Chains A and B, each alone.
Chain A
Amino acid sequence: DTEVTQTPKHLVMGMTNKKSLKCEQHMGHRAMYWYKQKAKKPPELMFVYSYEKLSINESVPSRFSPECPNSSLLNLHLHALQPEDSALYLCASSPGAARALNQPQHFGDGTRLSIL
């Protein structure tokens, strides 16, 4: 069981659809992260939020739009995705500011996204 909850677990969408991925944690963590993981590859960082402000964007295409409405919630809005965007999208959180190197990140089990 994980304390970072991601919904939905699976999502299939067409290239013209708009959908959102949701991530929630109630551990009081102040940093939250989105990662993308392609099959048989390690996770790659997409975005980092620290105290609800975007602190890192790893040059992610604008068809991915993150949002952090409060300290417990992180969304990833999807629009006009391409088939190569099919992947496992992972959310993580860590206790303090995102600059803290000595605090583990805790991951959810991800949303498996398929683009038709």
Chain B
Amino acid sequence: DAKTTQPPSMDCAEGRAANLPCNHSTISGNEYVYWYRQIHSQGPQYIIHGLKNNETNEMASLIITEDRKSSTLILPHATLRDTAVYYCIVRVERGYGNKLVFGAGTILRVKS
């Protein structure tokens, strides 16, 4: 399964952009990159996903490099409520289904 590598933790000042990097050098051509976050005691929350083009939604932007070996999640104006574990995930095919292969995650601490 394709694996992802993320920094274990990052700090960000409130109101500033948070840029979370992820390496996925073994990703295959049809595998999507997903980002989820998990706040303590809750289930993972979907943020965004993409295949090769950059993507933006109301929560974040996803920048994927041209060779698809890495990506960056951007939270444009971080707030204290964005403090969470952020998972970079590759979605891989597996038989008649598919699976989310979670990385170890980055703990993002947003500070005032």
Residues of A participating in the B interface, judged by any CB pair closer than 8 Å: 2, 4, 31, 42-45, 48, 50, 55-56, 58, 90, 92, 98-102, 104-110
Contact = CB atoms under 8 A, between A and B. Distances in A.
Contacts of B46: 104-107
Interface of B: 30-32, 34, 36, 41-46, 49, 51, 87, 91, 93-100, 102-105
Per DSSP, chain B at the interface is strand
Nearest to B85: A42
A102 B41 CA distance: 27
A109 B41 contact: yes
A99 B96 contact: yes
Contact of B97 (A98, A104, A109): A98
A105 B101 CA distance: 12
Contacts of A92: 43
Contact of A100 (B94, B98, B100, B105): B98
Contacts of B98: 48, 98-101
Contact of A44 (B41, B42, B96, B102): B102
Contacts of A31: 97
Contacts of B105: 42
